[in-house]
A and B are shown apart, each in its own frame.
Chain A
């Protein structure tokens, strides 16, 4: 890989070509907010939190899916970007039922952390309060749609890492839902191997093991990356 020069927030950087803007930023301690990104699986550009401004490009592009190019001039934290990150966060909170104080993920939730990061002191949009199911049919695990933010990290981990293809998505628009198999209760899935990787991949309190209560969730999303790194080395 050849080295190229790029500029991020007025800092000149020599970086390897072929990398995404997100990778380069993380390697250089430049903070980019993300939610659908998960180390170890492919990026889909769905949450739109990682949007950056690029000089000469009239659209905002997602850092997780856009590769660096020679002489790119990138801005990661303009007022506009910050404003949009805050709206995105508010919309995520307003979309389903996020009651942090009674959630298993309280204190360990990436969505909750995001709220703090963007200094969300209130939600300006009416909460939708949808009636969502809680699927407790699996012997060990729970899927609580009330907390799901549709990042599809579980879907990608299940297909790309575990190879089980249990998870997918049904419906359109704000009515999308994660489904198991062909829309069967998780406990009746014929593809789920009960490996538990999706629980670690999930950023919120949507997927969790039955043995815990409020605030006890212990997620290790980094195990996905470790697993994939080992696999690449042939271990």
Chain B
């Protein structure tokens, strides 16, 4: 396929969709599948055929729609009506009422168990109203298993534009202009990273997509890979063109079999259609992607450990410098970005860097995907402009605290992050603001805690995670996290002394400053931040001691 064919196919795919009057999407993200959505999909397809509606109604499986806890979700378009907790028994009612009688079913509407008056158009619900989907756009609307569906949504047009109308410098300038920052945790400016890799002269360079996503409770990257794999592939190919790489690797954790399956399938489809491989779309640029499967070590999300793992070695980090941009995979210049970062590339090139840079806050442009979890009414996946306040996320999108409880704190950044107490509910969710409160943006995990949570236990839990996931290479992290964990356990058990607390605080600073990689360097964060905001909880546990 060359560039003109692409336009033709894209138009054809659009035509194909237009011929249907109704579209029903069944969420087949891992969350909804686990609550039985695949059966719902089959039943629905059968029902449509049995009623002879197959020329009027299109039924497709899609990726994650967001409110995962309410699954299986079924969405009716164009009205954008979402039904929740659908099971096979509901199918004939849905078809009869929605398609034949054109009447929505109130009892099945999304969030009908929370709202006295649920919304017919799901977009009117605060859960969706405040969201702005850029990385997740189309996820939940298209069939991730069909490249034609992606093409019908203008897929690969950005790649075509890049290959034929832009130089690598142009692409980098556009990304720099967008002020996009890496979504893998540290928030490094993406354009700058691309430029650095571009500038190193080498015959061989690599592009790596980091899909290891090991933070407990996080599933942003999984949803993108499952729901819109071609978006990531297109982003990686554009990155390859910009930095001068012909080979890419997608490192996906083994616990995500569905993401791996869909991504590999998408690679095959892209190759078959000339969208990957030799001379893409008839241009001079060739790019290929291979999937590598992670074996479940959190540390393998760290870039140098990930590279070692791809090379077939034990996944342990290496000191930086040299950074992967200079000497990465097989010692060659390597660009490594997060899944969500790659998913943001196509919209930036389609709409311009200027457009993207105006969303969010001055220093943190664009949107961020969060995985909402914990004691909140609507948990699931959301994407909001940077700078949205925590209060809006918890009380508007998230529908407040479960059982009318009281908000105590929210943990961002998982085991590398920290907690935000109630008095800072108005904090803007962007890189700098979170940092100033002693937390981090991280990859997007957001756990909401109510008044019943014990903050010492929270710190202990995350320390245990880091202790178990430490690769064991460097002394501060290997032994330091174990010592800190044991001290935390002792204090939690009511056996701690004020000397223990002192030791704990000294160790925290030491481990942070001396560890080799980010795992150790950020392992003390949950401890330090709970100490900063909830010191009295530690002290109350100690006072009971003889001391």
On whether the beta carbons of A126 and B486 are closer than 8 Å, the reply is yes
On whether the beta carbons of A88 and B473 are closer than 8 Å, the reply is no
Chain A contacts with B in 129-184, Cβ cutoff 8 A = 149-150, 152, 168-169, 171-176
Residue in A47, A83, A169, A172 whose beta carbon sits within 8 Å of that of B297 in the complex: A172
Q: Is B291 located at the chain interface by the 8 A CB criterion?
A: no
On whether the beta carbons of A48 and B515 are closer than 8 Å, the reply is yes
On whether the beta carbons of B483 and A125 are closer than 8 Å, the reply is yes
**Which of B346-354, B416-424, B474-482 contacts its partner?**
B474-482
Map CB proximity to A onto B513-533 as digits: 1 under 8 Å, 0 otherwise: 111100001000000000000
Q: Is B469 located at the chain interface by the 8 A CB criterion?
A: yes
B257 contact set on A, CB distance < 8 A: none
On whether the beta carbons of A128 and B319 are closer than 8 Å, the reply is no
Q: Is B355 located at the chain interface by the 8 A CB criterion?
A: no
Q: How far is the CB of B15 from chain A (nearest CB, A)?
A: 54
Q: Which of B467, B468, B478, B513 has the most CB of A within 10 A?
A: B478
Q: How far is the CB of B271 from chain A (nearest CB, A)?
A: 36
Given contacts A65-B319, A84-B510, contact A48 B478 (CB under 8 A): no
Given contacts A94-B483, A168-B314, contact A48 B474 (CB under 8 A): yes
In the complex, residue of chain A having the shortest beta-carbon distance to the beta carbon of B516: A45
On whether the beta carbons of A84 and B321 are closer than 8 Å, the reply is no
Could you list which residues of chain B lie within 8 angstroms of chain A, going by C-beta atoms?
297, 299, 314, 318-319, 321, 467-476, 478-483, 486, 503, 506-507, 510, 513-516, 521
Q: Is A51 located at the chain interface by the 8 A CB criterion?
A: yes
On whether the beta carbons of A173 and B475 are closer than 8 Å, the reply is no
9 contacts between A and B (CB under 8 A): A87-B507, A88-B476, A91-B475, A91-B476, A92-B479, A168-B314, A172-B469, A174-B478, A174-B479
On whether the beta carbons of B476 and A48 are closer than 8 Å, the reply is yes
A48 contact set on B, CB distance < 8 A: 474-476, 514-516
B514 contact set on A, CB distance < 8 A: 48, 51, 60, 84, 88
Q: How far is the CB of A202 from chain B (nearest CB, A)?
A: 16
On whether the beta carbons of A46 and B475 are closer than 8 Å, the reply is yes
Q: Is A11 located at the chain interface by the 8 A CB criterion?
A: no
Q: Is A61 located at the chain interface by the 8 A CB criterion?
A: yes
Given contacts A48-B515, A126-B486, contact A87 B472 (CB under 8 A): no
In the complex, residue of chain A having the shortest beta-carbon distance to the beta carbon of B477: A173
Q: Is A191 located at the chain interface by the 8 A CB criterion?
A: no
CA distance A124 to B483 in the complex (A): 11
Given contacts A91-B476, A173-B482, A175-B472, contact A84 B318 (CB under 8 A): no
Judged by DSSP, the binding face of B is helix
Map CB proximity to B onto A52-96 as digits: 1 under 8 Å, 0 otherwise: 000000011110011100000000000010011001100110110
On whether the beta carbons of B319 and A45 are closer than 8 Å, the reply is yes
CA distance A91 to B482 in the complex (A): 10
A128 contact set on B, CB distance < 8 A: 482
Q: How far is the CB of B374 from chain A (nearest CB, A)?
A: 26
On whether the beta carbons of A44 and B479 are closer than 8 Å, the reply is no
Known contacts A51-B514, A95-B478, A172-B469; 5 additional CB pairs below 8 A are A47-B474, A60-B514, A91-B480, A94-B483, A126-B483
Chain A contacts with B in 14-35, Cβ cutoff 8 A = none
In the complex, residue of chain B having the shortest beta-carbon distance to the beta carbon of A173: B470
Residue in B321, B469, B473, B475 whose beta carbon sits within 8 Å of that of A44 in the complex: B473
On whether the beta carbons of A62 and B472 are closer than 8 Å, the reply is no
CA distance A139 to B480 in the complex (A): 36
In the complex, residue of chain B having the shortest beta-carbon distance to the beta carbon of A48: B514
On whether the beta carbons of A60 and B513 are closer than 8 Å, the reply is yes
On whether the beta carbons of A45 and B474 are closer than 8 Å, the reply is yes
CA distance A190 to B193 in the complex (A): 45
On whether the beta carbons of A174 and B472 are closer than 8 Å, the reply is yes
Q: How far is the CB of B56 from chain A (nearest CB, A)?
A: 56
Give 7 nearest A-B pairs by CB, closest first.
Answer: A176-B472, A45-B319, A91-B479, A173-B470, A65-B319, A174-B482, A48-B514
Q: How far is the CB of A44 from chain B (nearest CB, A)?
A: 7
On whether the beta carbons of B467 and A173 are closer than 8 Å, the reply is yes
A172 contact set on B, CB distance < 8 A: 297, 299, 468-472
Q: Which of B473, B481, B486, B503 has the most CB of A within 10 A?
A: B473
